[in-house]
Chain A
Amino acid sequence: MITFEYIITDKEGIHARPAGQLIREAKKYASSVTIRCKDKTADAKRLLAVMSLAAKCGDTVTVNCEGADEEVAAVNLKAFLQANL
C-alpha cells in the first residue's frame, strides 16, 4: 500500500472536468485507488464519488494506492495531480 498527500492548488478545487481526467488516470491501474478529503473517502475510479468530495483549493487530499501496480500508480497519480490540480 502506498499513501501520499497532496494539497489542491487549482483555484476551483477538484471540479468536474479534472475529476473526469483523474478517474481516467486512476482507471489505468489494476490497483484500487482511494482519495480522502476531510472526512470523506471516495473510490478514485468513480466520477460522482470523486466530485462529491468537493475538494477545494487548499484542501489536503490523501491518495491511497493498493495492488500489484501500486508503485507506478502512485507515481503517475501524483504527477497528474501536480500538473492538473
Chain B
Amino acid sequence: MHIYQGKSVLEGVAIGPLRLMHSQKPTITDAKGEGAEKEEAKFRAAQQKAVSILQKLYESALSSVGKSDAEIFAMHIDMTEDLDLEDAVIDRIKQGANAAYAVKEAGNEIAKTFAQMEDEYMQARSVDVLDVCNRLCNCILGIEEESVRLSTPCILAASDLTPAQIMQLDKSLVLGFVTARGSNNSHTAILARTLSLPSVVNTQTEIPEKFDGCLCVIDGFTGKVYINPDEATLQQYKQKQTELLAEREMLASLKNAESVTKDGKKTAILANVGRSLECDVAIESGAEGVGLFRSEFLYLESTDYPTEEAQFAEYSAAVQKMQGRPIVIRTMDIGADKQAKYFQLPPEENPALGYRSVRICFDRPQILKTQLRAIYRASAFGNLSVMIPMITSLQEVRFVKALAEEVKKELSQEGVAFRADMPIGIMIETPAAALIADELAKEVDFFSVGTNDLTQYTLAIDRQNQALEKFYDPRHKALLRLIRFAADAIHAQGKWIGICGELARDLTLTEFFLKIGIDELSVSAPYILPLRKRVQSIDTRSVLLETWL
C-alpha cells in the first residue's frame, strides 16, 4: 500500500482503478523566428484559434456546469486577448524571438508576478496565465490539444489538470482525480466541486507510471490517496462510501418532509438568506420558507441610501421566488459592526451598545419609511412579513407601527396594492426585549430570537473581541432561561416565536428548543436537512428541561 498526502478539494470517497495521464509539454526553443512580421501573424492566428477553442469549451460548460463556472473559460478568452500579454509578446517578437518562445517567456513573466502576490487566491491565478499561454503555444506549433479518452470508470492521476481538460473528460467515467500540483483555489478545483468529484491536489510527488491501472482510494476528507490499499483500508473506505451514499439519500428524502418530532410536535425549518438570489437555493435545500431575509446588503453595497424602487425590486423578487411560502424581511440593521459610509455615523466608544438599527431610524425616520414602503408594496406578491431588529422597549415598537400606519395610508391614497394585514414582528436580541415579551406580544404578531446578539448582550461579551471567545458560552443558563421566559410569555398571548440566530443550527440544542415550543428554526441552507433529521429523531416527552435550566 502506498499513501500520498495532498490537499482535499471536495469531501467524499472515490474508489477505482488509477489512470495516469501524461501531459507532454511542447518543445519550445529560442531559435530565431522568421522575421517579426511573420511571427506576429502566427501569434495573431494562434490567438484566434485559441479563442475559438475556448468558445466551444465555454458553450459546453454552460450546459453542463452552469454560468458561474463557465465564466472560467470566458475569462480565459479575455486573458488570451489581453493587451498587456499581447504587448509583452509583440515586444519579444520585435526583438527577434519566435512566436512560441515569445508567448512562453511573456507568460512566465506575468505568471511570476501573480505567483509573488501576497493573496493566496491571486497566486493561484498564475496557473490560469500558464494554461492560456500553453494553449497559445500549442496553436502556434500546430499541436492539437490532447483530450483523454476513457472507456471505463477510473480515478485520474496527473501532474496537473487544466479546467479545459476537466471539461473535456467524460464525466460519467471519472470517479475523482489526484494531481501532484495545483491548489485548492484553482479553477480546476472549483470545477471538481461543481461536478462533485472527490479529489486531492498538490501531493507534491508525481505518482509513478508503474501504478497505472492499480486500485486507488481517494479520501477527500483528509486529502489522503491510497494506492493498492490493504484489505482493511479498502473495506473501511467501501463502508464509508456506502454510509455517505445512504446519508445523502436519506437527507434528500427529507427535502419535502415535515419537521415533526416522534411525539408529533411540529416545528418549521426555514432558511436565512441575504439576497433574493439565495431564495432558489433555500427552496432547493428543503426550506419551508425564509425565516430571515437580511436587507443589509442593499445598504452596504451601495454608495447612497437605496431607493424605494431598488428595494422593491429586490423584495418583490424574493417574495415571488418563495411561491407562497412565508418570508420574513428584517428591516435594516446598520450600525455597530455593519457600517455604510453615507450614513455618516459618528465614531463611537462602544458601537455594539450604540447607535444602530431602529435607533438610527428614530432620528432619521425617512430611512425606515422608504424601506417599509418597499416592503408593503412587495407584500402584494406573496406571504410576506416584516421584522424589526434591536428592540428594547414598547416605545420603539409603537414608533415603528405608527410609521407603518403612515405608509399604509399613503399607499392606499396612491392606489398601490399591498397587504394591509402584513404581520409585523420583532427580534429578541436584548435581555430587555425578552423580559418584557409579554407586553411586546400585545403589540406585535411574532418574534424571532437573534441568538448572537442576545448572547453578547446577556453575557456582556463583545463578539468582535477575540480575547473574549472563551467566555462566549451560547449555552449559558442565563441565555436559555431568557429564551424560555420569552417563549412562555409569547405563547400565553397566542403569538409565535422562532429562532434565527446561529444557535438554531446547533443540533445539541434542538431538543431544548422543541421542548419549550419554539415554533420555527431558521438556519442557512446547508443546515436545513440535517436539522430536519434531528427534529424527527427527537421525542420531547423524554426531554428534561431541568437539565438545561
Contact = CB atoms under 8 A, between A and B. Distances in A.
A51 B75 CA distance: 11
B117 A7 contact: no
A28 B110 CA distance: 26
B78 A6 contact: no
Interface in B229-277: none
Interface string B129-153: 1000000000000000000000000
A54 B122 contact: yes
Interface in B94-153: 110, 113-114, 117-119, 121-122, 125, 128-129
B281 interface: no
A21 B71 contact: yes
A43 B87 CA distance: 14
B297 interface: yes
Contacts of B110: 48
A46 B303 contact: no
A47 interface: yes
A4 B303 CA distance: 9
Given A9-B297, A23-B78, A48-B84, A16 B125 contact: yes
A48 B119 contact: no
> What band does the interface of chain B fall in when counting residues whose beta carbon is under 8 Å from A?
20 to 34
A9 B300 contact: yes
B72 interface: yes
B83 interface: yes
B340 to A, nearest CB: 9
B36 interface: no
B304 to A, nearest CB: 11
B297 A16 contact: no
B196 interface: no
Interface in B431-466: none
B82 interface: yes
Interface string B283-309: 000000000000001001111000000
Contacts of B302: 82
A21 B78 CA distance: 9
B85 interface: yes
Contacts of A46: 82-84
A69 interface: no
A37 interface: no
Contact of A51 (B83, B118, B122, B341): B122
Interface string A7-32: 10100110111011101100000000
Contacts of A56: 119
A3 B120 CA distance: 31
Contact of A12 (B72, B77, B85, B121): B121
A20 B300 contact: no
A16 B186 CA distance: 11
Contacts of A20: 71, 74-75, 77-79
Contacts of A51: 114, 122, 125
A52 interface: yes
B78 A7 contact: no
Nearest to A24: B78
A78 B301 CA distance: 11
The 4 closest A-B pairs by CB, nearest first: A20-B75, A17-B71, A47-B78, A20-B78
Interface of A: 4-7, 9, 12-13, 15-17, 19-21, 23-24, 43, 45-49, 51-52, 54, 56, 78, 82
10 contacts: A9-B297, A9-B301, A13-B119, A45-B83, A46-B82, A46-B83, A46-B84, A48-B84, A54-B119, A78-B303
Given A6-B303, A19-B75, 16 more contacts: A5-B303, A7-B303, A13-B121, A16-B128, A17-B72, A20-B74, A20-B77, A20-B78, A47-B79, A47-B82, A48-B79, A48-B84, A48-B110, A48-B129, A51-B114, A82-B301
